[in-house]
Amino acid sequence: MSEHTAPADAVGAVRHTRILIVGSGLSGVGTAIRLTQEGITDFVVLERGEDVGGTWRDNTYPGAGCDVPSHLYSYSFALNPNWSRSFSPQAEIHEYIRSVADRYGVRDKHVFGCEMTGARWNDTEGHWEITSTRGSYTAEVVVSAAGVLCEPNLPDIKGISGFEGEIFHSARWNHDSDLTGKRVAVIGTGSSSVQIVPSIAPVVERLDVYQRTATWVLPHATRPYLSAERWAFRRVPGLQRLLRGMIYANRELFVLFQAKYPKAAVLLEIVARVKMFLEVRDRELRRKVTPKHRLGCKRMLVSNKYLPALGRDNVELVTDGIAEVRAHSIVTEDGTEREIDAIVLATGFHVTDSPTYNLYVGREGRTLSEVADAEGYQTYKGTAVAEFPNLFLMLGANSGLNYTSLIYIIESQIAYLVDALATMRARDLRSVEVRKDVQADYNRDLDTKMARSVWVSGGCDSWFLDSRGQNATLWPDFSFKYRRLLRTFDVDAYETTPRTR
């Protein structure tokens, strides 16, 4: 057993590690593997769950799956020729992450069932002091790999705490709950909802789907792979990488109408409208599901089952706002009361205001949340934040994507981190902290690029935007440009502190 698999539960014991990784989803596992490949073994991964997998471990709701093609949704160093479908289901992705962690031997670097409860930078000692539910640590470098889809966003609706039926978030699905024959309300119509609704509609007595704003739904090109195809992926050299490259190039085209030429989105809107006409024959329902914003402004949804499910006799799409939740019903703003037995909250996650930001206290005594509240959620290259030395974020501000695999971004950030570690060692640096002026210049450039994007000009409110209405989530350009930006660690952009002998 590795020393990292046991908790530091001796009274007053503080364990030291060079690098501490928080979270074991795709970012955390990928970082652990790359560090191992680089010969860096002095690190530990804190994971509050009992297994690796992150969002793909936690989101086990009916119909859960990925909306990025399977062959693109994998690490570049661990392609999977055995995907069963062109778009993979949740369980298959979780098993893939588990198998990769085992293959590269990083599981014994984890402390499972261990939630970080605080991390404070000690400027005198030049290290982070971390508290957790299984002991205390100090670390020279902290990698925050908690993920952006890890903290469920629970709606603030009058009376919801007094609901006496079953209620749970899509990311905390209660598998002990049998919805068969029950009256169920699904609140939300985002990417989770479009998978949940058609999955449970055939078994419930009645399903009320509460929609705040309509969202464009595109065709889903999903299909099972033939055994011959999987054989070819395993046996034909380069075939899988060729397919992966073709998929990547195709997905990059979405940048043109999202970030470069938003008016071009009308071409995809035509596709979505034709699909809507074919799948929704009722005119009133079609009016309700027709968005008023430009396609791409909110996350694009793909489904061949969602719109038809809304037309079922036992399904009602409710577009009036929710006034309150009562013990056994939901009342909408028009006064209608609908009796229900269960509520499914498909209301997304805290993305730009993650509770984990409250845990990091930087050099000036402020938490990440306090800095974001005062100055807006900004980072440098989605990885570093001024006032927070030796802290590297995975999928930090403006490093997300709305059209392709986040793993591409994750691997770019890991490469940046590895080069930063090598630079620190080569120059004998105790700490690196991005300069405030550099961070400010970087974000001004981002704002210029973002101004013409569909996310700003498309006429919608989405989870991409922070409390200030700024898109603090997405990268407003081609993903290969982001990778080029992070190819090497630009130490001149950082304040550095040498080690003292």
Q: pLDDT of 482-492, one tens digit each? A: 999 999 999 99
Question: How many angstroms separate the Cα of 267 from the Cα of each of 1, 295, 307, 490?
Answer: 57, 9, 20, 40
Between 460 and 269, the more confident residue is 269
Q: pLDDT of 327-358, one tens digit each? A: 999 999 999 999 999 999 999 887 777 888 99
pLDDT of residue 351: 76
Taking residues 179-191, report their average pLDDT.
96
pLDDT of residue 117: 97
pLDDT of residue 501: 62
pLDDT of residue 5: 42
- Strands in 337-339's sheet, in edge-to-edge order, are 322-326, 329-332, 337-339
Is the confidence at residue 457, as pLDDT, over 90? no
Query: Using CA atoms, how far apart are residues 448 and 162, in angstroms rounded to an integer?
Result: 46
Taking residues 405-430, report their average pLDDT.
97
Among 3.20.20.110, 3.50.50.60, 3.40.50.620, 3.20.20.140, name the CATH number for the domain at 3-151+350-434+475-495: 3.50.50.60
pLDDT of residue 227: 96
| CB distance 14 to 138 below 8 Å | yes
Prediction pTM value: 0.94
pLDDT of residue 2: 40
Q: pLDDT of 209-253, one tens digit each? A: 999 999 999 999 999 999 999 999 999 999 999 999 999 999 999
Q: pLDDT of 299-311, one tens digit each? A: 889 999 999 999 9
**Nearest of 312, 251, 307 to residue 280 by alpha carbon:** 307
Identify the burial level of 150 via C-beta atoms within 10 angstroms of its C-beta, where 0-12 means exposed, 13-18 middle and 19 or more buried.
buried
pLDDT of residue 8: 47
pLDDT of residue 300: 87
Q: pLDDT of 33-75, one tens digit each? A: 999 999 999 999 999 999 999 999 999 999 999 999 999 999 9
Crossing angle of helices 239-252 and 227-235, rounded to 10°:
100
pLDDT of residue 216: 94
Query: Using CA atoms, how far apart are residues 261 and 264, in angstroms rounded to an integer?
Result: 6
Query: Using CA atoms, how far apart are residues 32 and 414, in angstroms rounded to an integer?
Result: 10
List the structure tokens of 350.
Answer: 């805290």
Q: pLDDT of 252-300, one tens digit each? A: 999 998 999 988 889 999 999 999 999 999 999 999 999 999 998 888 8
Is the confidence at residue 468, as pLDDT, over 80? no
Domain regions of the chain by residue span: 3-151+350-434+475-495
Q: What is the mean pLDDT of the chain?
A: 93
Residues 6+ apart with CB under 8 A from 276: 217, 286, 289, 290, 307
**What pLDDT band is residue 12 in, cutting at 50, 70 and 90?**
low
pLDDT of residue 217: 96
How many other C-beta atoms can be found within 10 angstroms of the C-beta atom of residue 428?
A: 9
Write down the H helix ranges in 253-383: 254-255, 266-279, 283-289, 306-310, 368-375
Crossing angle of helices 26-37 and 90-103, rounded to 10°:
20
Is the confidence at residue 193, as pLDDT, over 70? yes
